Amino acid sequence: MNTQTSPSPQFYLTAPAPCPYLAGEAERKVFTHLVGPRATEMNDLLTQGGFRRSQNIAYRPACESCRACVSVRILVDEFQYGRSFRRVENTNSDVVASVFDAHPSTEQFSLFRRYLDARHQMGGMSDMSALDYAIMVEDSHVKTRVIEYRLRAPGDGISARPKGELIAVALSDLMSDGLSMVYSFYAPDMEPRSLGTMMVLDHVRRAKALGLPHVYLGYWVRGSRKMGYKTRFQPQEHLMSQGWTRFNPDEPAEE
C-alpha cells in the first residue's frame, strides 16, 4: 500500500452561510490549504484559476444558485491613467511607500482597527484582535509583503525607515504573473485622498516595474456597492466560463 502523501491539494466545501454582498443569497466556498514547498506554485495556479488567499487557505465561491462573484485582474501594460487617477496621485504626492517582509506591528493594527470600526462594523472581521491581525499577516507560506504608506516627514529618504504618520497598508502576494492584493486598509478620516485607489495605482506601477502583466484585485460583484470601484481600473480581464476575458462594462453580465 502506498503511504506517501499526495502532492495534489485536497479541496473541501463549506456549509452555506449568508452572503456578505447580496441580500437574500447564501454563499459556499471551496478551499484548500497552501502549505509546504509547493505553496507558492499552488498559490499562482489557484489565483490564476479564480481563487483568493486568506492566511494559508486558498478559496473561491462555490454557490449553488449565484455566479455574481467574478475574479478581476488589471492589464498592467495597457492601463489607462485618466484624469481622476492623475488627480489621486497628485493629491498623494506627499506619501512615501515602503515594502517590508510580512510582519505585523502595533501601529498597523491600530490603523486596521480604525478602518474596521469606521467601514466594516458588521463584517466578519469586525471583532478581530491583535493576535488575529498578526496571524492574518504572518500565516503565509507564499511570497507575501507588507507595503506601508506614510505621510512624508523630515528626514525621509535618509533614514532606513520613514517616520511619518501611517495612513494605509497593503498585504500583497508576489506571483509569477503579477501582484495579488490580498487585503488593504487605510485611515478612514482621509477620504478626500482616495487612499484605496492610491494603493491600486501604486500596485500597477510596481507590477510594471517588475515586468509583471497583472494586478489581481480579487472578486467583483455586480450589484454590490462595496465592489463597484474595481471596474474603474481599465482595461481589465474577468474570469468567465471560457477563461480570462477582456471586460466591457457596457456588455450585459454573463448568466
- Look up the pTM and report it: 0.89
State residue 29 phi and psi, 5-degree precision.
-130, 145
pLDDT of residue 120: 67
Residue in the structure block whose three cell numbers are 493629491 = 91
Model pLDDT for residues 86-126, shown as the tens digit of each residue: 999 999 999 999 999 999 999 999 999 999 998 765 556 76
Q: Is the bond leading into 235 cis (omega within 30 degrees of zero)? A: yes
Give me the pLDDT at residue 1, please: 40
Q: Report the pLDDT value the prediction gives residue 6, as an integer from 0 to 100.
A: 52
As a whole number of angstroms, the distance between CA 148 and CA 162 comes to: 9
Which residues of the chain register pLDDT less than 50? 1-5, 255
Query: What's the pLDDT at 224?
Result: 79
Per-residue pLDDT tens digits for 77-87: 999 899 999 99
Q: How many CB atoms lie within 10 A of CB 138?
A: 14
Give me the pLDDT at residue 5, please.
45
Please, where are the H alpha helices in the chain? 39-48, 83-91, 106-119, 130-138, 195-209
